[in-house]
Amino acid sequence: MPVYSFTYRPFEGKYLRHFRWWIVFLEEVRLWNRSRIFQILFLLGMLQPLARFLQILSYNSAMQDPNHPLAPLIRSVTWLKVNEELYYNLIRLQAPIVLLLLLYVGAGTVCTDRKNRLWDIYFSKPIHWYDYLVGKLLSVIFCGLSLTFVPAVILMFTDYVTKKSSTWTGLFSYLPVMGDSLMFSLVLVVPSALAIVAASSIFPTENITVISVITILIANTTLAGLLSNFMRDGNYMQISFPVAIYFMGQKIFNVDRNIFFRTADVSGFNMFLYIFFVSMLCLLICIFQVRKAERG
Amino acid sequence: MDIQIETRELSKWFGEVVALNNVSVQIPSGVIGLLGPNGAGKSTFIKLALGLYRPSRGEIRILGEKPRNNFHTLQKVGYCPEMDHFVEEVSGYEFLYWLARYSGYKPKVAKKQVERAVERVSMTERMYDPIATYSKGMRQRIKIAQALLHDPEILFLDEPMNGLDPTAREELFELVISLGNEGKTVIFSSHVLHEVERVTDTVILIYNGRVLAFGKIREIRDLIKNHPRTIVIETLEPKKVYQILSVDENITTVNFDTQSLTVHTLDPMQTFKYINEVFLDEKVPIYSFRCADEDLQSVFQYLISTHIPRGL
């Protein structure tokens, strides 16, 4: 270690007074972004949006060209139609891969830092516990939205561009469906991210976190299934967290074709409260665990 | 005196375990050794100073301010922890870069600061390699580099010599001394006594959560004048030497070896004088005699034995 007499100089940085979580967010995104497994999962997650992209292209070209050889076929297949339901189905079918991806990026967010004893270093820098937690949570949420809301918006834009009769004012017609897509994406991603980060803050390793989250999900859904069978009432399936999220999606998009219960029979507000309560519980766990570490 | 760190009745306990007990000290600038065995409370003291722990009682002030959640203070403080604290899969450079960003530097300045800190710990050549591939010594250097990133006024080094090879240790000694010469305050924690002696003559002796002594090593020694000192005399005739020395009233105990004897005396200067005078007259061959407990180890042991009841 050579010693330089000039080494120490006055502070040249600009102290961050706000948005310190942004640095945590950026670091987290950089960390998982380079992982090969993440890249593979993300590419898998982009397969459905790619298929939807082709669907929109083919549907719009067929619908706008009466002489198109595939036009009668495409017209006759209802699920090929480009409407609001396409975006609902897109987000709904993305759920499994989103869950996998969130588990991959979220399971290690807090427990890895604890395992590597990084909290001492982080909190010896000018950073609050809430900057840390917000940065971590937002990075996981961002990851989830990048496979749900972001592809939905790109598909909307594709639909707009491929419609020959589109005018720029036509863009505004996408606002309601864009809002619905954002709502459903948030309902899907935010509670999942909170639950995974909460588990990560409790359990010691990534593997245990993943196993625990999956076990809780299975147990929760099994309990709901048992109750609905035992009580002979399909509405008990609402207890299942994944079913509750699907249900909220249906409410948001005004779709009614649930195999467990009739959407019209259950209260969307109650279901929202249930999801909100679970999310807040997870958030409280995260806050408690990180504050405990920061408090010393 | 320029007080950098001040504590008043500072205490910290974890459940029923008292990690730090009623510590009141005023630490000036310069290199200060924080010395004590494992579990003495050194790391707790440092974490309290960094605001990582909340005091259970009393208070601590860094540069006149309470450190807890005080970004103004944290920007002036650097911390090199005892344990490894890394994101293993990233490079040393990247790890430091993000920590520099946490300290508030914009990207370009952060890069410069990282390069400067890495150069100072001689890790420039390996800075782009993943941390997982680093040796223990390299990891230690990166830890020190992250503490130096933001040019802190006060630097806390918690057992920084752990795992360093002799060359790196020597370089780190030089670095710590130079930081002290630049006017920085360096709190150098260690349980290895000669490490502390190598960088400073001012120490805080800490044991069982209590500060046993704080000051210059010589001043501390003066506090314990009444404690017997140890003198080792190398001679081929230890029994004869013993017979002669037995008349000295200051000598409390004597231990024999084949070619030496160890005497404990209440007044070493008087005993040295006596040895010189008597043995010149008696013509007993003595190869050397020296005080065996002039180092910090013995000071530490004296203080522990005077503060802690025997048998504990």
Contact at 8 Å (CB) between A25 and A139? yes
Partner A contacted by B237 (CB < 8 A):
no
pLDDT band at B189 (very low <50, low <70, confident <90, very high): very high
Q: State whether B103 and A125 contact (CB < 8 Å).
A: yes
At residue B223, the pLDDT reads: 61
CA-based torsion, A237, A243, A247, A248: positive or negative: positive
Among A84-93, B244-253, B275-284, the range with the most confident prediction by mean pLDDT is: A84-93
pLDDT band at B61 (very low <50, low <70, confident <90, very high): very high
Partner B contacted by A12 (CB < 8 A):
yes
If 0-12 CB within 10 Å is exposed, 13-18 middle and 19+ buried, where does residue B247 land? exposed
Which has more pLDDT, B229 or A184?
Answer: A184
At residue B310, the pLDDT reads: 42
Contact at 8 Å (CB) between A124 and B74? yes
First-to-last CA distance in chain A? Answer: 33
Q: State whether B120 and A1 contact (CB < 8 Å).
A: yes
At residue B270, the pLDDT reads: 76
Q: State whether A8 and B151 contact (CB < 8 Å).
A: yes
Q: Which of A21, A34, A110, A121 is best to mutate for the B interface (most B CBs within 10 A)?
A: A121
Q: Which of B29, B85, B89 is best to mutate for the A interface (most A CBs within 10 A)?
A: B85
Q: How many CB atoms lie within 10 A of CB B163?
A: 16
Task: Sort residue B68 into left (φ over 0), alpha (ψ -120 to 50) or beta.
Answer: beta
pLDDT tens string B65-81:
898 888 888 888 999 98
pLDDT band at A4 (very low <50, low <70, confident <90, very high): very low
What is the DSSP secondary-structure string of B74-120?
HTTEEEE-SS----TTSBHHHHHHHHHHHTT--HHHHHHHHHHHHHH
Which has more pLDDT, A155 or A121?
Answer: A155
B145/B30 Cα distance (integer angstroms): 19
pLDDT tens string A230-247:
888 777 888 889 888 988
Mean confidence (pLDDT) of chain A: 86
Is a pLDDT exceeding 50 seen at residue A266? yes
The residue-averaged pLDDT of B40-49 equals 91
- What is the bridge-based pairing of β-strands B77-80 and B3-14? unpaired
A239/B282 Cα distance (integer angstroms): 100
Which has more pLDDT, B148 or B299?
Answer: B148
At residue A281, the pLDDT reads: 96
Out of A4, A118, A294, name the one closest to residue B85 (CB). A118
Read off the tokens for A89.
Answer: 């189905």
Longest dimension (CA), chain B: 77
Lowest mean pLDDT among B23-27, B111-115, B177-181: B177-181
Location of structure tokens 């593979």: A40
Is a pLDDT exceeding 60 seen at residue A153? yes
At residue A33, the pLDDT reads: 86
* Extents of the domains making up chain B: 3-216, 224-307
At residue B47, the pLDDT reads: 92
Cβ-Cβ pairs closer than 8 A, A with B, add up to 112
Mean confidence (pLDDT) of chain B: 83
Which has more pLDDT, A2 or B106?
Answer: B106
At residue A6, the pLDDT reads: 37
Classify B3-216 by CATH class: alpha beta
Is a pLDDT exceeding 80 seen at residue A218? yes
Q: What is the CATH topology of the domain spanning B224-307?
A: Alpha-Beta Plaits (3.30.70)
* Extents of the domains making up chain A: 21-295
The residue-averaged pLDDT of A150-174 equals 86
Q: Which residues contact A80 (CB under 8 A, 6 or more apart)?
A: A55, A58, A59, A74
Rg (CA), chain A: 23
Q: State whether A3 and B175 contact (CB < 8 Å).
A: yes
pLDDT band at A146 (very low <50, low <70, confident <90, very high): very high
Is a pLDDT exceeding 80 seen at residue B282? no
| Beta-bridge mates of residue B278 | none
Read off the tokens for B149.
Answer: 């990133």
- What is the bridge-based pairing of β-strands B185-190 and B154-158? parallel
Share of chain B above pLDDT 70, in %: 88
pLDDT band at B122 (very low <50, low <70, confident <90, very high): confident
Lowest mean pLDDT among A64-73, A218-227, B84-93, B297-306: B297-306
- How close A257 gets to chain B, by Cα (Å)? 47
Location of structure tokens 């999220």: A245
Is a pLDDT exceeding 50 seen at residue B258? yes
Q: Which residues of A touch B53 (CB under 8 A)?
A: 295-296
Rg (CA), chain B: 24
Residue of A nearest to B170 (CA): A1
Is a pLDDT exceeding 50 seen at residue A2? no
